[in-house]
Copies of this chain bind each other. A is one copy, B any other.
Amino acid sequence: MTFPAKTPQPPYYAVIFPSQRNDGEDGAYSQMADRMVELATEQPGFLGIDSARGDDGFGITVSYWQSLEAISAWRQNGEHLEAQRLGRADWYRAFSLHIARVERSYDGP
Among A3, A14, A88, chain B packs the most CB atoms within 10 A around the CB of: A3
Please tell me if A7 contacts chain B, counting CB pairs below 8 Å.
Answer: yes
Residues of A in contact, count (CB < 8 Å): 43
Please tell me if A33 contacts chain B, counting CB pairs below 8 Å.
Answer: no
A55 to B20, CA, bound (A): 17
Across-interface contacts of A104 in B (CB, < 8 A): 98-99
Whether the pair B7, A20 counts as a contact (CB closer than 8 A) is: no
A26 to B28, CA, bound (A): 32
Across-interface contacts of A52 in B (CB, < 8 A): 18, 52-54, 58-60
Q: How far is the CB of A85 from chain B (nearest CB, A)?
A: 10
- Of the A-B pairs whose beta carbons lie under 8 Å apart in the complex, a sample of 7, sorted by A's number, is A3-B58, A5-B18, A50-B58, A68-B103, A96-B107, A96-B108, A97-B108
